[in-house]
Amino acid sequence: MNFWKDKRVFITGATGLVGSSLVKKLIHQKAFVVALVSDVNPNSEMYRNGTANKITVVNGRLEDYVCLERAISEYEIDTVFHLGAQAIVTVAYRSPLLTFESNIRGTYNLLEACRVHQPFVKRIVVASSDKAYGDVDALPYTEKMPPMGRFPYDVSKSCTDLLSRSYYETYELPTVVARCGNIYGEGDINWSRIIPGTIRSLCNNEQPIIRSDGKFTRDYIYVKDVISSYMMLAEQLENPKVVGKAFNFGPNNPYSVIEVVDGIRKAMNKMDIGPKILDSAQAEIRDQHLDSKMATETLGWKPKYSLDDGIKSTIPWYEKFLKNLKETKV
């Protein structure tokens, strides 16, 4: 049976990297999709691939409780994917208030709207991040570690996790939290991120920019693996081993920034163009690494894509996108 057929799904952050892919997947699975959209970005994959014409779009912001409550009530939503957030670490450093309003107020607004309409809201998947754990002495991160963010973005994700747990423990709201490593893949047009930024630079025969010293380590998880993790969580949310919990999702294989850049240079045959290392990163955790054992044992989830495989799948999308962008400007 198709679990998603005729499910009524509300997605925040639908125009982002993960949201656009999730919308497309759910439409394919015959779900009725309602998306919260603050700004219409024609370069978002949700608009470029035409899926925006196959869903219901609610124009509004996470900070607007009335908007969220109306959408959930009017469309009788049974499933919520909360992906919406200010997701860029450097923006959070420059504008902490903007980040806290979106990521913290936005989360409790949405959870409260779901609580009010709990009779028909059956499952809520909240997208968090490995940043929620903060800077710890011993890696990898495990779900037994508490959320302890220090910097603005990290704190906003720690609060997101705590709010979700609070609404579950207090009101039995059926929530589950997904903590992923750095997500990448086709459709990400946040050029400050290392993978899309490096691909764009190399397509333009320019030096890729590395903000840090290049030695910071991260988990990098391909967007299709993220989609499978979110959908698995929703499908299994009635399991007492899942509801109210937080799960890590990552490849269990961290890479340094310079290793990622070199992998992209190699895949694009651009080894003659070296990176420009600024060593100026601020308010960023140096090393992060997730243990995903709990997701494997409880959900049966495993990543299908290695970093090399994901990068090779991603590069052609950017080459085509950037070519079309140039032709449009001409």
Both 90 and 163 in one domain: the answer is yes
Q: Is residue 134 part of a domain?
A: yes
Both 135 and 244 in one domain: the answer is yes
Q: Is residue 105 part of a domain?
A: yes
Q: Is residue 1 part of a domain?
A: no
Residue 315 has pLDDT above 80, yes or no: yes
The average confidence (pLDDT) of the chain is 96
State the Cα–Cα distance between residues 143 and 141, nearest whole angstrom.
7
- Give pLDDT tens digits for 21-31: 999 999 999 99
Residue 329: exposure state from Cβ atoms within 10 A (0-12, 13-18, ≥19)? exposed
Residue 149 has pLDDT above 70, yes or no: yes
Domain hosting 148: range is: 8-187+221-251+289-304
Q: Is residue 68 part of a domain?
A: yes
pLDDT at 179: 98
Both 272 and 159 in one domain: the answer is no
- Give pLDDT tens digits for 22-72: 999 999 999 999 999 998 888 889 998 899 999 999 999 999 999 999 999
* All residues at 6 or more sequence positions from 268 whose CB lies less than 8 Å from its CB, including other chains: 199, 202, 203, 315
Please tell me the chain's helix, strand, coil percentages from 3-state DSSP, rounded to the nearest 5: 45, 15, 40
Both 150 and 203 in one domain: the answer is no
State the Cα–Cα distance between residues 253 and 116, nearest whole angstrom.
41
Q: 3-state SS string over 197-244?
A: HHHHHHHCCCCCEECCCCCCEECEEEHHHHHHHHHHHHHCCCCCCCCC
Q: Is residue 2 part of a domain?
A: no
Q: Are 300 and 236 in contact (CB under 8 A)?
A: no
Both 157 and 263 in one domain: the answer is no
Both 226 and 272 in one domain: the answer is no
Both 38 and 158 in one domain: the answer is yes
pLDDT at 330: 53
State the Cα–Cα distance between residues 31 and 56, nearest whole angstrom.
12
Residue 1 has pLDDT above 90, yes or no: no
Both 106 and 85 in one domain: the answer is yes
Q: What is the pTM of this model?
A: 0.95
Q: Which of 46, 159, 65, 157 is nearest to 106 (CA)?
A: 65
Q: Is residue 61 part of a domain?
A: yes
Both 152 and 298 in one domain: the answer is yes
pLDDT at 329: 67
Both 32 and 121 in one domain: the answer is yes
Q: Is residue 3 part of a domain?
A: no
- Give pLDDT tens digits for 242-295: 999 999 999 999 999 999 999 999 999 999 999 999 999 888 899 999 999 999
Any idea what the CATH number is for the domain that residue 180 is in? 3.40.50.720
- Give pLDDT tens digits for 157-212: 999 999 999 999 999 999 999 999 999 999 999 999 999 999 999 999 999 999 99
pLDDT at 136: 93
pLDDT at 41: 85
Q: Is residue 330 part of a domain?
A: no
Query: What percentage of the chain carries pLDDT values higher than 90?
Result: 92
Both 206 and 300 in one domain: the answer is no
- Give pLDDT tens digits for 72-106: 999 999 999 999 999 999 999 999 999 999 999 99
Task: Tally the domains of the chain.
Answer: 2
Both 141 and 17 in one domain: the answer is yes
Hey, which residues are catalytic here? 153
